[in-house]
Chains A and B, each alone.
Chain A
Amino acid sequence: MTALTMTAQPGQDTGLRPVPWRRMAWVTWRQHRAALAGVAILLSGCAVALGITGLRMQHAYASLVRSRCPLTGALTTSRCGRLEDAYYHAGYPLTGNVLLATVALSAIPVLIGMFVAAPLLAREYEAGTLRFAWTQAAGRTRWVVAKLALLGAALTAASSAFGALVSWWLAQADPLAGASRWQPAQFGLSAVTFAAWTVAAFAAGTFAGALIRRTVPAMAATGAFVAALTAITYQKLDTLLVSAGPVIRRTMLLNLPVYQPGSPPVTFLLGQAVTVSAPAGSWPLRSWIAGPRGQIIGSLPTRVLALDAQAENHWLASNHLGLWTAYQPPGRFWLFQSVEGATGLLLAVILSAATVWLVRRRAA
């Protein structure tokens, strides 16, 4: 029998220093490195696909800009048509299915919630290992806070970087798809919002695990909750948010613009040839035609716009009609992003606090 090499120090219980966070970091890393590696593989796999197609689209888009091609599509025989075709194929099959791609990317927080977060506590409850973990000197509060904080921080950093990449990729794909970063599904995929929803999904998963205490039901509950949260965000929150207090101004009809560097200029494409102008990168909500006393005559795009823009503008002016647009200016994009990001972060903080409360209160 090996003798203990240190002697016991009974009675030294005043001013016990807590177990350092650095040690808790090792524990967290050792126990969850497989899950973190899974997240890293998933995100980097997606990142490679997005990176390659994004770079190719960027290159093809630059050719369209250089050639001053109009934003049309479908004229494959012309030089610009061929360039557009090349642009389309540069990101194929993702570019043809931007909506599908955004929905698939939105599922990543769901997966992280289910496979990283839900088993975090549920598996320990199931295996009985909490009886080991929570009777060590570190104590259960420090144990759970360390795991939530460190894994939450790691996931925030990874998802924020990934969200930035997705935003960049969407900026390459949007002109062709006629889509915008303001759209519901895309709005949740920025460096701010994607990170916020990922960390909210993580917090929801750990909370479900602490509440349900069984891995598979906790995973199912997490998947359902986060998917519902995402759907509600896209259906309601995003729409509500970006329609708040739009800028309203009188505008003109423009001829079809050409491809430009940076954010696509357009917004409403009316018919084949005419657009209503709003500043590049903005999000138009609606346009209408008003009479001399401000009464609304009709809303666009109900009017047939077969004439060219100049003649149309002249016709409007001679009839004392004005064309009006309500839109969100580009400068508000990050304001709305931070509002949605704060919402997700607040949800994460509330759920994490509830998890710590459950852990402190409940028996192992």
Chain B
Amino acid sequence: MNIIETSGLGKRYGGTWALRECTLAIPAGHVAALVGPNGAGKTTLLNLAVGLAAPTAGTVTVLGGRPAGSPAALDGIAFVAQDTPLYKNLSAADMLHLTRNLNRRFDPGYAEARLAELGIPRNRKAGKLSGGQQAQLALTLALARRPRLLVLDEPMAMLDPLARHDFMASVMAAVADDGVSVVLSSHVLAELERVADYLILVSRGSIQVAGEVDDLLACHRVLTGPATEAGRYAERLRVVHTRRGEAQAHLLVRTNGTDRPVPPGWEAHPVGLEELVLAYLREPGAAALPGPARARHTETTEVTT
């Protein structure tokens, strides 16, 4: 089952396309990271998936074919929007009761226990809680709905490092306990690297990379060799990005799992997730998508200092 599936999805605000020709299928059972620079279209994609916005073009379905925003879709998805909006004048207990009344399913015992565990005072107004507590409260409300899909939009942007750690620990505990699928967006990759096992890279309104993290890492290699030969290999291999030093060049190549012999004088290294993402972000023309490989041969270079 695909937790989110889009086909030719596009959203235009005024005259500009925030998202365009987006075809994507995120399978269930993953913690999927939606990564991309600010303004790439991450929030637009998530808003379309949770039914807050309607597509200009194409379709989006969730939870195995339910139209986004339909009652069945809303029932199974919990969404924590950017900056975790809560009613600032309501107490934590009132927010709980409000969420309970707005949903078919809600587990008040779980929510109360989690508030106690987190040390969030029940009677304090949501607006008076710390940023970390507000985020945790929003997450608690979302998880107590027992969703099948948890969607988090930039959940940690406002949090300090400790609160980020606690927040992600809560998310991962829910994944372990309840098997909930998670899609979370961030422009900071570092905070997702440890938790995400599925990656979607959005750039300039289109999907650049999508796939399981293990598969993506397995079919990319960094080749290091003499800078003078870099240009020659770039023509033969699927080079995503070339990083040139004084003497050596580092080529991020897409191998598609078939490890071709390394040319003499060159060394192959496995690639890290951050390195992979950065390479693709620097090459907006390159793509790694399921199905026929669409990686292009590019020869843009960058001089390391």
Residues of A participating in the B interface, judged by any CB pair closer than 8 Å: 1-6, 8, 10, 13, 16-19, 23-24, 26-27, 30-31, 127-139, 143, 361, 363-364
A24 to B103, CA, bound (A): 10
Q: Hey, which chain A residues are within 8 Å of B114, CB to CB? A: 2
Q: Which residue of A lies closest to B11 (CB)?
A: A363
Q: Is the CB of B72 within 8 A of A13?
A: yes
Does B298 have its Cβ within 8 Å of any Cβ on chain A? no
Given contact pairs A1-B169, A13-B76, A138-B102, a sample of 18 additional A-B residue pairs in the complex whose CB atoms are under 8 Å apart: A1-B117, A4-B107, A4-B177, A6-B107, A6-B110, A8-B180, A19-B101, A129-B87, A131-B79, A131-B85, A132-B81, A133-B102, A134-B52, A135-B51, A138-B74, A139-B71, A364-B47, A364-B52
Given A27-B98, A133-B102: A363 touches B52 (CB 8 Å cut-off): yes
Contact A19–B85 (Cβ < 8 Å): no
Q: Is the CB of A4 within 8 A of B143?
A: yes
Contacts of B98 in A (CB 8 A): 27, 30-31
Q: Do the beta carbons of B77 and A4 come within 8 Å of each other? A: no
Given contacts A23-B101, A135-B51, whether A129 and B86 have CB atoms under 8 Å apart is: yes
Q: Is chain A's binding surface mostly helix, strand, loop or mixed?
A: loop
Q: How far in angstroms is the closest Cβ of chain B from A23? A: 4
9 contacting pairs across A/B (C-beta < 8 A): A2-B110, A3-B178, A8-B179, A16-B71, A23-B102, A26-B101, A31-B90, A31-B98, A131-B82
Residues of A within 8 A of B103 (CB): 19, 136-138
Closest 4 CB pairs of A and B: A131-B81, A136-B102, A1-B173, A13-B72
Q: For A3, what are the chain B residues with a Cβ–Cβ distance below 8 Å?
A: 110, 177-178
- Bound CA–CA A123/B135 (angstroms): 21
Can you list, as one digit per residue, whether each of B132-163 has a CB less than 8 Å from chain A (1) or not (0)? 00000010000101101000000000000000
Chain A min CB distance to B63 (Å)? 8
Q: Which residue on B lies nearest to A133, using beta carbons?
A: B102
Nearest-CB residue, chain A, relative to B140:
A2
Give chain A nearest CB distance to B154 CB in angstroms: 12
Contact indicator B146/A30 (Cβ below 8 Å): no
Which chain A positions have C-beta within 8 A of B282?
A: none
